[in-house]
Amino acid sequence: MLALYFTKRSAMRPTALYIAGAIAALGATLALRSEPGDWSGPGTGVPDAAQKEIEPVEKEINRIEDETWTRIQHENLDASQQVILLGKLHFYDRHLSVGRNEACAFCHMPEAGFAGPVSELNRTTAAYPGSVRTRFNPRIPQTHGYASFSPVLHYNALQGDLVGGAFWDMRASGLRLNSPLAEQAQGPPLDPNEMALIDAACVVYRASERPYRRMAERLWGPQAFAIRWPAGVRETCDRPGPAPKADPLPVHLAPVDRGIAQTTFDKIAEAIAAYEGSTEVNSFSSKYDYVMVGKAKFTADENAGYHLFRSTATHCNECHRDGGPG
């Protein structure tokens, strides 16, 4: 019944069913990690059946990126549309990973409700490989659909509890950028088990080499990439993170250049958040949405699952809030 309740079109929200997969994956994925150096191919821990699914996903990511860039070049867009589409380019840009092989979208594809699109990984490891293919993130990819409606973490006196933020562990509270979604977007590029760039400055350096640089400079100002990059920056950014404790910022920048790099990194994250908050991602067109506004009705089994989800027998809705009562 729960499965029937959670059945939706691509606008599916995170569900309690993901929890079981994440727990089951954790032990397996820890054993699949390796030291930097292995990138892709045999022996990475990616099942052969999953690799066959990954290849068309990567082609679709490239197609969407190309389509978005073509739209930007040929349409008359206002400033807000430009920011959203720039964020979409960042989101589908595999060059913002250490191996230039993994975009944010790899774990968040539209046909899967902006969650993980590889059914074989969902069935087996649950977690997804990073840019260094021998490394797996210990969490199953969650959908970011509707995540933009989560406010900045704050204390709600009426509820007597903390409200908002992007994660239970408060690692993306939104307090710094006034957006939990933007702060979340800064995590994967620097996570050694995901996109694995060794320094936030590497995200900015890679973006400075991309075709959308001029568009970003028009939106953010010419200073956005006016950074004096040190010799060897390319080689540094081709080395997977994490950075060594003795050298936590291995792209050695002067203080002013480091400040510019951080500001531009923030702008990239805010652009991604703008895309993730757009109507393209948050369509409100699932059956659940239609039920909530009286345009459709649950089947008997779906209705039973809906109420079971909120019951004291499961406590699902205490962690997986979906905006409904209870």
Q: Is the bond preceding residue 242 a cis peptide, omega within 30 degrees?
A: yes
Band (139; pLDDT cuts 50, 70, 90): confident
Which 8-state DSSP code applies to residue 129? B
SS3 111: helix
Nearest partner of 6 among 326, 319, 306, 314, judged by Cα: 306
Which pLDDT tens digit goes with each residue over 244-287? 999 999 999 999 999 999 999 999 999 999 999 999 999 999 89
- Determine, yes or no, domain membership for 6: no
- Determine, yes or no, domain membership for 153: yes
pLDDT at 43: 56
Range of the domain at 45: 32-276
pLDDT beyond 70 at 21:
no
pLDDT at 28: 37
- Determine, yes or no, domain membership for 81: yes
pLDDT at 205: 98
- CATH code (residue 42): 1.10.760.10
- Determine, yes or no, domain membership for 200: yes
Q: Which secondary-structure segment (H or E) carries 300? A: helix 300-309
The tally of domains found in the chain comes to 1
pLDDT beyond 50 at 131:
yes
Band (319; pLDDT cuts 50, 70, 90): confident
pLDDT beyond 60 at 306:
yes
Calculate Rg over the CA atoms of the chain.
20
For the segment 68-94, the average pLDDT, to the nearest whole number, is: 97
Which pLDDT tens digit goes with each residue over 149-165? 999 999 999 988 899 99
Helix, strand, coil shares, percent, the chain, to 5: 45, 5, 50
pLDDT at 324: 53
- Determine, yes or no, domain membership for 143: yes
